[in-house]
Amino acid sequence: MVKEKRTLGMGEIFGYGFGGMFMYGFQLCVTGYFLMYFMTDIAGFPTGLAATLNTAIQVIKMVTMMFSGAIIDFVNFKSGKYRTWTLIAGIGLGIFFPLSFVYFDMSVAAYAVIFIIIYTIHTIFYNVGWTAMRALMGKMSHNGPDLIALNVAAQVGGTASSVVYGYIGPVLLGISLWANTKQVYACVSAIFGVMIILGAILIYKMGAKYDNTAADPTKAAPKQERIGLIQMIRSLRGPMIPYFFSYSFGAAQQGFFSTLLVYYTTYVLNDADAAAVALSVTSLAALVGSFVVPPICRRFKKKSVYLTVQGSSAVLYIALALFGRTAFTFIAIRALISFISSAGAILQSAICNDIGDHIEMQGEPAPRAFLQGLAGATNRVGMVISSAVGAFGLAAIGYVAGMTFDADMVNKLIALIAVGPAIVCAIAFVIMLFYRVDENAVAEYNRKKYATEA
């Protein structure tokens, strides 16, 4: 078999990664690590209400992500399907993301309604943009190395944004806190909102070469590119079933960490600044891990790598429960988990793309954007599982803002942030054992397809 070589230039690969970094990386840092804290300690929502809203948000994210791919596959633009959707969604996200963190001085009930409406709009723009950007990978890639390179670039962009945020985030928050305003998160989010729009423009410009129907008269009209509902429904079978549920449970581990990190560092480690350090170190570990994935994937099958990730993570979370009571051991073990887990995150779109190829090999059209939307939805399902357990777990153990933690409360919080992730990683491992796609056959299929197109 002829060894494939990457066809994309480094400028295109890094441009894709940096575009994703500006569009989604910083936004995820704010919403992932401070949303629950914002609702309880800034907005002033009771813990039970905040837990309910947090769970509702995760459900909304999950549902809208599932439909985002269908919207993209059905609606086309002459300027290019995926890159145009990325631009539209980026502008909307850049506006509604900071609006989600604006503090309104009104009754709790009225504020909760306004908050969930704004956050829902924010979520729709995010999901459509994320799915369009991931689907653009298929337009840009000509072989396996191209696809892995773009996935690595996306992962590197995301983790790099976390590292950068670990340094500039506290500074921006500190300035806002010094100003003594409850709009602290809105001010910080507004700065990142501008970055989101700039990232969307970068992706739109960069994708013109690969996703611009109007500029290429040899392509079919946009109306003929639409994927019907029947094709979408037919894709929900075979390998997509174990893939969807395994990645959903696998994604749940991150939800426990992000939802409970600030509480854990504040009340268990008694070091609130450790949250920023943990974020930076774990993100750096994931960044380093990203560069290990391509050579590993050249030696081992994607499924084997993914199973190793989930099994190792389950063991390390048990170690975290036993030894993670100091800032050093907590951050060190969590960094090792991030290093290992980076492979699973990078392979998410690549494995989903294999499923699309598998469908085409059966002689059926593959709804690529729809499949990528479902792949993204696994992250949302995981967040629903973990955020619900984590947030309602806080209420169940009796957490009240500003309370003093005794030994019993410490043990309960450790169980939430460590034992819970270990369980979901083990479940993800077992489910993925039932995934069946011949990766060698897929590689041969792509080699022949792109050789014919060339």
Report pLDDT for 303.
92
Report pLDDT for 119.
92
Using CA atoms, how far residue 149 sits from 143, 295, 350, 374, 398, in Å, is: 10, 11, 10, 22, 46
Report pLDDT for 301.
87
Report which of residues 16 and 94 the model is more confident about: 94
Report pLDDT for 189.
85
Residue with tokens 């190829």: 357
Domain coordinates in residue numbering, the chain: 10-215+226-453
Per-residue pLDDT of 228-264, as tens digits, reads 666 777 777 889 999 999 999 998 887 787 777 778 7
Average pLDDT of span 326-341: 89
**pLDDT of 10 higher than 90:** no
Both tokens assigned to 276? 């920023």
Report pLDDT for 228.
64
Report pLDDT for 173.
60
| Residues contacting residue 352 through CB under 8 Å, at least 6 positions apart | 243, 371, 372, 374, 375
Report pLDDT for 2.
46
Average pLDDT of span 381-387: 79
| Residues contacting residue 405 through CB under 8 Å, at least 6 positions apart | 267, 268, 413
**pLDDT of 130 higher than 70:** yes
- Alpha-carbon Rg for the chain in angstroms: 22
**pLDDT of 224 higher than 50:** no
Report pLDDT for 169.
64
Report pLDDT for 451.
64
The CATH code that applies to domain 10-215+226-453 is: 1.20.1250.20
Look up residue 213 and give its DSSP letter. G
pTM of the model: 0.70
Report which of residues 314 and 166 the model is more confident about: 314
Both tokens assigned to 132? 């369009």
Report pLDDT for 314.
94
**pLDDT of 157 higher than 80:** no
Per-residue pLDDT of 179-205, as tens digits, reads 666 787 788 888 888 989 998 998 888
**pLDDT of 218 higher than 50:** no
Report pLDDT for 401.
72
Report pLDDT for 24.
78
Report which of residues 90 and 208 the model is more confident about: 90
Average pLDDT of span 344-368: 83
**pLDDT of 14 higher than 50:** yes
**pLDDT of 357 higher than 70:** yes
Alpha carbons 137 and 160: distance in angstroms, whole number: 20
**pLDDT of 32 higher than 80:** no
How many other C-beta atoms lie within 10 A of the C-beta of residue 223? Answer: 7
